């Protein structure tokens, strides 16, 4: 994402999944600067995950939210399928 933009929109989500390390490892390769938006995922000391998404405009933020929240959801669903 360009650092020249002063009007950045941001969303932060905190998750407490059963296996945060597995979700972190599954989603981490997908995180990248995709033009008008970017995302970071942090594995917190208390076993939580923090997803920070920012976009240069609202449509870019919305698109990134859809992408990264879906990735987290799918990673968690796949763990349930594999483990059960």
pLDDT of amino acid 82: 81
CA nearest to 29, candidates 44, 41, 14: 41
Domain annotation for the chain: domains and CATH numbers: 9-83 (3.30.310.50)
Task: Report the alpha-carbon distance of residue 23 to residue 72 in Å, rounded.
Answer: 7
81, containing H or E segment: helix 58-83
- The overall pTM is greater than 0.85: no
Query: pLDDT tens across 40-72, in order?
Result: 999 999 999 999 999 999 999 999 999 999 999
pLDDT of amino acid 71: 94
How do beta strands 9-15 and 37-43 pair? unpaired
Task: Report the alpha-carbon distance of residue 4 to residue 80 in Å, rounded.
Answer: 42
């Amino acid at each position: 994402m360009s650092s020249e933009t002063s009007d950045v929109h941001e969303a932060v989500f905190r998750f407490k999944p059963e296996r945060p390390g597995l979700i972190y490892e599954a989603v981490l390769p997908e995180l990248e600067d995709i033009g008008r938006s970017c995302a970071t995922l942090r594995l917190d000391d208390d076993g939580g995950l923090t997803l920070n998404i920012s976009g240069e405009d609202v449509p870019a933020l919305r698109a990134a939210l859809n992408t990264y929240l879906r990735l987290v959801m799918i990673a968690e669903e796949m763990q349930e399928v594999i483990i059960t």
